[in-house]
Amino acid sequence: MDFPLQPQVLAMKPYSPGKPIEEVQREFGIDRPVKLASNENPLGPSPKAVRAIQEAAAGIHIYPTADCYRLRQKLSQTFDVPPDQLMIGNGSEELIHVLGQIFLGGPEDEVVVGDPSFPRYAAATRLAGATLRPVPLDSGLRHDLSAMASQCNEKTKLVFIANPNNPTGTIVFRDDLISFLRDLPAQVVTVLDEAYFEFAAHDARMPHSLELLRSGERVIGLRTMSKAYGLAAARIGYGWAPSAIASAMFTAREPFSVSTLAQEAAIAALDDVDHAQATLRNNAKGMERLIRELETWPAIRLTPSWGNFVLVDVGQPIGPIFDQLLRQGVIVRPGNQFGIPTSMRVSIGTDEEMTRFVEAFRAVMRLEAPV
């Protein structure tokens, strides 16, 4: 049977998530697979967040607060941002989707993105029936800001910049970004997706979307509780924007999209400074180890990363290597899903998980340990 589905939806490809642990267990009979594919927090959630969920569970027969009042107040206090400039959604993906709905109205509206980058920017554009202008990353796999600026015109409504970028882990620097913003046509709004911000915040060159917003730049900042805070399954995205945009976002989004459990978990996680610091320490240690283990091999290229993952170019098609790693119980993200077919994205895990990856990768690549 034929159904009158929108052609832009039929032309889309579904989002391809990292391979689930349960699927690897079933397919290969492996008891304890190591998942380094989805940039999740290897330390898990804050114990305070878990307790908050448990305490709130008895109230799940009641609809959540549509305006996320308590979480909104907590975010306002934590980041010193007016409540009317805050946006909260069911993951930052919901916020990206709603941005497409409130800014884009058809093929005459255009969106500029880096390529490769987070695929939901393209999805939000196409669902709104708008025109996507992908701009290849530069030779260092960073957003090519000058090339992106050249693609902006009177039809451009939004520019999406993931900073740090997913899947490459690279960042654009503050001074370069400010110059870029001031070169854009007056109507363009730049969305800075800072899902991995916490891992890059130590670098003085890292721009802060909230500081840019305070200085009057036409920017929107997006962040998430899924990565550094370990609440990926709870689905909490948040961010800041000029109050007119934040108000439009609240009007357009689903009224009860953020559950009470998620809201309470996020409030508790924001209070758990010790867990956040432990997460950053583990990431720095694991990143240093992964680079040390792999950088000695001349056929392997590592992209410097400011995230909680590393893009590893193995110099040959990644498909067979991905499959062989799976058979050893190690799940990574193959780069052919991002249009970089000789690379894989490897999340930083615990010491044990990094050992499993290094041993499996050496076996697959037939690498000898450095002398």
pLDDT of residue 371: 39
d(CA 298, CA 326): 24
SS3 for 330? Answer: strand
Q: Tens digits of per-residue pLDDT, 9-43? A: 888 787 777 767 777 677 767 778 899 999 999 99
pLDDT of residue 34: 95
Contacts 24+ apart (CB under 8 A), 55-61: 55/264, 56/260, 56/261, 56/264, 57/261, 59/260, 60/259, 60/260, 60/261
- Confidence check: pLDDT of 369 > 70: no
Per the CB < 8 A criterion, the answer to whether 256 and 64 are in contact is yes
CATH 3.30.450.20 corresponds to the domain 7-45+274-365: no
What average pLDDT does range 205-231 have in this prediction? 98
SS3 for 119? Answer: coil
Q: Phi first, then psi: give them for residue 342, nearest 5 degrees.
A: -105, 15
Task: Pick 76 or 31 by higher pLDDT.
Answer: 76
Q: Tens digits of per-residue pLDDT, 248-258? A: 999 999 999 99
pLDDT of residue 368: 54
- A 10 A CB-CB count for 358 gives 18
The predicted model scores a pTM of 0.95
Can you count the helices (H) and strands (E) in the chain?
Answer: 15, 13
Q: Using CB atoms within 10 A of its CB, is residue 257 exposed (0-12), middle (13-18) or buried (19+)?
A: middle
- Confidence check: pLDDT of 225 > 60: yes
Intervals of CATH 3.40.640.10 along the chain:
47-272
The fold for domain 47-272 equals: Aspartate Aminotransferase; domain 2 (3.40.640)
Lowest mean pLDDT among 25-34, 41-50, 273-282: 25-34
Binned at pLDDT 50, 70 and 90, residue 367 comes out as: low
Per the CB < 8 A criterion, the answer to whether 314 and 342 are in contact is yes
Intervals of CATH 3.90.1150.10 along the chain:
7-45+274-365
SS (H, E, C) 218-258: CEEEEEECCCCCCCCCCCCEEEECCHHHHHHHHHHCCCCCC
Q: Tens digits of per-residue pLDDT, 172-205? A: 999 999 999 999 999 999 999 999 999 999 999 9
